[in-house]
Amino acid sequence: MAASSAVSTLCENPTEVFLDVAKLLLTYADNILRYPNEEKYRSIRIGNPTFSTKLLPIKGAVECLFAMGFEEAETHLVFPKSASVEQLKLIRESIAAERDQRLRGECPAQQPAAQPAAASASAPHGSPPAAASSQPAAPPTQHPPSLESSMSFFVTLQSNFQHVMVYENQELQQKARSCIPHQELSSAARLRLKEAKRADPDSKLGIEDFLVLELLRWFKRDFFSWVDSLPCSRCGGLTSNAGALSPSTDDLRWGAQRVENHFCRSCQLSTRFPRYNSPEKLLEARRGRCGEWANCFTLCCRAVGLEARYIWDSTDHVWTEIYSVSQRRWLHCDSCENACDKPLLYEVGWGKKLSYILAFSKDQAAGFTFVPTEKEMSDRLLHIRYSASRDEYCRVSNSSEVIRSWDQCVWRNDSVFRKVETDWQMVYLARTEGSSVGKISWKFDFAPAGLKIKSVSVMASSQTFQSGTVCWCLQSDQTTVEFSGDGTMQSFPGLSGSSELIVAAELSGGEGDAAWQHSQLFRQSLKETEDSSFEIIISLQDA
């Protein structure tokens, strides 16, 4: 995307959204201009909460960073030494000029063309989702292939972040409920739960587990249909996909930027197949392939009150996950297959090699999950250490692989950050200033490898002051165990047989303005570079 085009796209955002993201972009640029030799100002960590929540979802924001000269480097965006500072200044001045104009109350250079990404959930009934038609297209000659690929990836992230908010539209959920035989499905779910409890009084299954099974069955059997090729609209005979047709205005209104030409050789007639991206339109069309199925099914899940998230896989497949309150874990749901809790379906059943998978929901894009590598599967061992002073993980069981930065291996993080006290030469994790509670967790999943836990040992160190508290616990698919963060290695035989493990800590309490500092994880001297402040050893066995 050309420089002017990137800024123009940014300007399409409403003034309040534009001012917030412009301030952040100007800060990134000004730090580089003021401190050109400071490496820390030339790098933006993609997992940083500020970047992922305040910049990534905003239309045109990432494009402006690429236009400034930033490039993707694994977990960061970096401004290389070879990048043009003049180009950075040009983009910076364009954004600053627009920001100054809006602060003076003058009309923005470009009026918003659609609902903002963050407000798409409250779009009026009947309006197409903003994400469906607002994806900026980057001309292929503007960037080297690596940057073009990076921009494509970030645009995909932006689109998915925006799109999942559409499912929260209350009028749209009501429209979905009018299509769903909710009472019938709920009654069947209650009956199946009753039968399960009768067969196994200790069963940990809940009503939502059976409701999603009923919803899957209804969705595939009675509601949605799969399309390879549509029947000819004239003779009803077979057609074949003969390429693409131009989308109409109405197609684009419902997010169908692709229209397939299903051609009948007998009639010499084309039947149009718009690939709708609007879940509202899909409630009417009721047909498609995996994208349409997952899109519409996720909306139906939210409409009946299930906690659902949309899963995107870079090898071109999507599905849904439902959170089971009773089992305390996410359940894989593929509406195309009427399959629930079968995560090996793709790699084993389809022979599909999954590469990069992200989960999108109204609350977050879920984070990192430890899955055994080939070496760890062979050795039946997963061993992780974290050093706060070095701010790095050592995956001992995988040839001592080093993973830098505390949050790169975190599954969920709510209001926790890494604090470095340069005067006291100490470092620790604490909750953010002003927050009453901070939560952080690490997740281990062995089911995809066909393994389960044989034994677990954990060492975690935490420290509290005044009335501060830290609560540690281990959660598996079978039980929850609390433990102390006293810095000693502790074993938990009761977790044997589980296929999933979550290590979680909650920080709270404290007094006065410094209450956030009164509960700390992994407190360590910056000089103690040889010691670990967090360690997990998990022996594995065949499931």
Nearest Cα neighbor of 274 from 227, 225, 223, 222 is 227
Annotation marks residue 11 as catalytic: no
d(Cα 151, Cα 521) in Å, to the nearest integer?
A: 36
Q: How far is CA 394 from CA 79, 254, 399, 534, in A?
A: 28, 48, 9, 10
Provide the residue type at 482 as one letter. E
Chain center to CA of 244 = 31
d(Cα 509, Cα 466) in Å, to the nearest integer?
A: 9
Q: How far is CA 17 from CA 117, 133, 517, in A?
A: 9, 19, 32
Q: Is 256 exposed, middle or buried (0-12, 13-18, 19+ CB in 10 A)?
A: buried
Nearest Cα neighbor of 84 from 25, 40, 43, 29 is 29
User: Which of the following is catalytic: 163, 262, 317, 383?
Assistant: 317
Annotation marks residue 383 as catalytic: no
DSSP state of 306: -
Nearest Cα neighbor of 110 from 2, 7, 249, 3 is 7
Q: Do 238 and 231 touch, CB atoms closer than 8 A?
A: yes
Nearest Cα neighbor of 457 from 391, 401, 535 is 535
d(Cα 500, Cα 505) in Å, to the nearest integer?
A: 17
Q: Kind of pairing, strands 426-431 and 369-370? A: unpaired
Residue with tokens 């954004």: 95
Q: Do 309 and 295 touch, CB atoms closer than 8 A?
A: no
User: Which of the following is catalytic: 251, 334, 407, 445?
Assistant: 334
Residue with tokens 């070095």: 390
User: Which of the following is catalytic: 290, 313, 379, 391?
Assistant: 290
Annotation marks residue 316 as catalytic: no
Tokens of 259: 């229209």
Q: Do 65 and 164 touch, CB atoms closer than 8 A?
A: no
Q: Cβ atoms within 10 A of the Cβ of 92, count?
A: 19
Which residues are catalytic, by number? 290, 317, 334
